[in-house]
Amino acid sequence: MKKRRKIEIFKYLVVIGAIALGVQDTVAVKAFSPLNDQGYMVTESMSFSYDQGNWRYQGAGNYVYNAENNSIVYKSQDGSAHEMTYFYDEDWNMVRETWLSYEDGEKDGWEYFYDKNGNRIKEISYSPGEEPDETQYIYDENGNVLQSLATDSSGNLSLNWKCEYEIQEDVTRVKETWYDGNGQTMGHTESEMTYDSYGNEISRVDYDENGEIDADIKNEYTYDEEGRIIKKIEHDNLSDTDSMVQIFVYDNNGNNTLDFLYMDDYEEKHIFVYRYEKFEH
């Protein structure tokens, strides 16, 4: 698990792609369909940044579906040195992921395994010239991740992450602790979150290993008549600034086609554009 930090633009792009395709990192272990509720899938994305009084094109990429093996391939249109392929089972669980580098021709890969509830219970990672690593996940009855165990190719434990939850109405407290393969504590953090009636996080306070406040964030949401988020303001209480503001625009089919992203009290500005197609399996 990673501590919360200021979101960088590259990370934001990766997150948007993950939302569109159902891609998860090692701690977001629920399976998500690449299709939205309306049955549409992102087929193209573009980004622009505001620089010295002008909007400048940053890049674009295409998402192509292959019905033969139920996969989606992402390729950049601006010459980036990699492509990503995501493979799904019949329930839209992502079962395999590959990252191909055009620069050296090497391909990294990951395999994912799920329980009947769609929780990811195991993943195996592969890298050229290296033995595969494995991570297993353990859940409580509510689907919260309690523990992840990372082992090397010989089956030796290399990292043990544990998470404890305390849930009271709309307040959730989480304590995370990391141990090495010998059981020695590597570190721990605690967080306290509150949520609105839609289940979106409205506040978050992170504490470091010494109990000092590491982050204090307040989120404000504006919803349209359909209950969709059309604006989100992330306010950093420690610096008393709006660290991130997002505006979401939807088409007549309910697809999120345009995002405006402002950071550091509107000093940094970006636009993300998405094109969709109706999916026919």
- CA nearest neighbour of 120 among 97, 142, 98, 148: 148
Against a cut of 0.75, is the pTM above it? Answer: yes
If pLDDT is split at 50, 70 and 90, which confidence band does 280 have? low
pLDDT tens track for 69-99: 889 998 877 656 678 899 998 888 899 999 8
- CA nearest neighbour of 204 among 172, 231, 175, 233: 172
pLDDT tens track for 230-274: 999 999 999 998 889 999 999 999 999 999 999 988 889 999 999
pLDDT tens track for 184-193: 999 999 999 9
Cross-strand pairs, 98: 85, 109
CA 215/CA 228 separation, integer angstroms: 27
Show the tokens assigned to 69. 């093996």
CA 262/CA 242 separation, integer angstroms: 9
Show the tokens assigned to 21. 């395709």
Tell me the fold of 9-278.
Porin (2.40.160)
